Amino acid sequence: MEYIKTTLRLFAVVPILLALCAALIPARASAKVYIDLAAPANKRLPIAVQEFSYLGNAPRPGSGEAREIEEIKVALRETLLSDLNFSELFNIIPREAYVEDPELSGLTYNQTNFSSWRVIGADTLVKGGFKVEGGTLILEARFFDCVTEKQVLGKRYVGSVKNPRRLAHYFADKLYEELTGQRGIFTTKLLFVSDKYGNKEVFMADYDGQNTSKVTSNKSINLSPQWSPEGSRVLYISYKRGTPSLYMLDLRTGRDTPVSTREGINIAGRFSTDGRKIALTLSGNKSPELHVIDLGTFKDTQLTDNYAIDVSPSWSPEGKKLAFVSDISGNPHIFMLDLASRNAKRLTYSGAYNSSPAFSPDGRLIAYSRSDKGRFHIWVMSSDGKDPSGT
């Protein structure tokens, strides 16, 4: 049986009124901007994103340096605009309406003509500047409240000129957190499998699919990549030794460690929330069963023992339970396993095929894939199996 697994990251939006507060420069007024994320018709915050100015010495027109600076300008602004659009929190004012010249105005609040921004409907504003020193890119980015004429957020980032998008993602993350109280996802990475170069290799990319790079290069079949909690290790299945085995690749050192190479199947590896253990499915005497491997000792503990196929383990945030898929009741359904008692509770009772459970970060919800009449949809339910709803 072939199981196709999709890694889901579930975002829970909770009702809360969130205030913007000053970050670097003392405020001259104490007004706040509020965003009700739970409102049925949430009003987006009007924002202008000025073109980033160059803070170094002006390059010779038409030179390679001038072209590089222009490319960085475009990459920084377009990346930030893409992130802001993705957040669905902002109404971005078109650049054609801007009055203030980024090359003539400064980056501080007392160098900003806020009235010229308010007149075009911009309640908030992003301004930034950068300079290049060798292969290093230095970015200064600031977020202003145009109504109170104060700076809310200011950050300075240092990175490579080869990847200006990364610095823009960092600022977008911080801005999202400032507004919502929740961490942004703009600096996160995706893992995926592609046969672009002839073999199925593992690749990674930015959250928006840009900046792709190869993770494996073994010219074999590689499947089901999974991130470790801290993002420095990757679990994946590979046929590079002939049979499907589970490996762990450390992206910092390049060390590739066999985790499970036993005869039969070694699939569906998932890191525990502390990164110290791996839940997976291994061939058993009766059928494929759930196991946990301790990465410190590589001790293997079998969790299930039945005549069903038990796959797709997903750790709860506190690491005490596993959601998984089993066909013990006939067709595949989602179950919850308590690791202390080893008791399993069935959560789903509808759908012809339920698979790929994934907890929300707070553990209250589980997202999963469900097939009805041959078509798959993403569903969400409470972690106790109640109130399932499809999308």
**In the structure, what pLDDT confidence band is assigned to residue 6 with cuts at 50, 70 and 90?**
very low
Q: How confident is the model at residue 104 (pLDDT cuts 50, 70, 90)?
A: confident
- The pLDDT of 126-140, averaged and rounded, is 96
Longest CA–CA span in the chain (Å) reads 75
Domain-by-domain residue ranges, the chain?
A: 19-180, 189-390
Best CA proximity match to 303, nearest among 284, 319, 318? 284
Least trusted range by pLDDT, from 23-37, 219-233, 305-319:
23-37
Q: Give one word for 21, left, alpha or beta, with left for phi > 0 and alpha for psi -120 to 50.
A: beta
Q: What is the pLDDT of residue 4?
A: 30
What is the CATH T-level fold of the domain 189-390, as seen in this structure?
Neuraminidase (2.120.10)
Q: What is the pLDDT of residue 33?
A: 40
Q: Is the pLDDT of residue 160 over 80?
A: yes
Provide the phi-psi class of 356: left if phi over 0, else alpha when psi is between -120 and 50, else beta: left
The percent of residues in the chain predicted with pLDDT above 70, rounded, is 89
> Which residues, including other chains, have CB under 8 Å from residue 193's CB and lie 6 or more apart?
200, 201, 202, 203, 222, 223, 224, 225
The continuous run of DSSP H or E covering 62 comes out as none
37 pLDDT more than 60 = no
Q: How far apart are the first and last CA of the chain?
A: 27
Q: Which residue type, as a one-letter code, is found at position 375?
A: R
Specify which residues 245 forms β-bridges with. Answer: 238
Q: Which pLDDT does position 50 carry in this prediction?
A: 95
pLDDT score for 75: 97
Mean pLDDT calculated for residue range 41-54: 88
The hierarchical CATH code for the domain 19-180 is 3.40.50.10070
pLDDT > 60? residue 3: no
pLDDT tens digit sequence for 326-383? 999 999 999 999 999 999 999 999 999 999 999 999 999 999 999 988 899 999 999 9
pLDDT of residue 19 exceeding 70, the answer is no
Whether 17 has a pLDDT exceeding 70, the answer reads no
Residue with tokens 């699919």: 209
Helix, strand, or coil (residue 325): strand
Query: Mind listing the pLDDT tens digit for each residue in 226-255?
Result: 999 999 999 999 999 998 999 999 999 999
